[in-house]
């Protein structure tokens, strides 16, 4: 646990490397095509053997994950429109150790927006990134 705590003057900072989102799923559907994935927008990253991209009853995609420096982003919010046509998720980077000397990319520096929809037998996704950092890292 001590490696997860940073002290800057009289302030203590605990590294956040994962969020605690439930295993709820999101579903998009258009015609004979549907996608089942988690609230991060990932397919098949944890459990959920039924997740995937399906067309006319056949699963064509069973694993599709987004990672930042080999780490899963933290979930801020996720939603599916009532008509199950559009999915959106707001994500941010977790605390990420950068080297063995204690350099850390602090959480909430990079904002990701993930939008996905299914149309005419095809899955479409757009990912937008914003960098809100002024410096490259913090030091432990």
Place of tokens 């459990």: 47
pLDDT at 35 over 90: yes
| Rounded Cα gap, residues 116 and 87, in angstroms | 5
Structure confidence at residue 99 (pLDDT):
79
pTM of the model as a whole: 0.74
Mean pLDDT, rounded, for 10-23: 57
Torsion of CA 133, 4, 10, 99, to 10 degrees: -50
71-115 per-position pLDDT tens digit: 899 999 999 998 899 999 999 999 888 777 777 888 899 999 999
């Amino acid at each position: 646990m001590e490696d997860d705590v940073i002290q800057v003057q009289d302030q203590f900072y605990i590294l956040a490397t994962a969020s605690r989102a439930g295993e709820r799923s999101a579903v998009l559907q258009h015609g004979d095509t549907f996608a089942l994935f988690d609230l991060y927008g990932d397919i098949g990253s944890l459990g959920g053997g039924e997740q995937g991209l399906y067309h006319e009853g056949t699963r064509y995609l069973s694993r599709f994950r987004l990672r930042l420096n080999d780490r899963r982003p933290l979930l801020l919010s996720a939603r599916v429109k009532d008509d199950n046509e559009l999915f959106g998720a707001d994500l941010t980077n977790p605390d990420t150790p950068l080297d063995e000397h204690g350099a850390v990319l602090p959480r909430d520096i990079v904002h990701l927006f993930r939008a996905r929809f299914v149309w005419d037998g095809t899955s479409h996704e757009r990912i937008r990134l914003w960098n809100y950092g002024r410096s490259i890292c913090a030091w432990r």
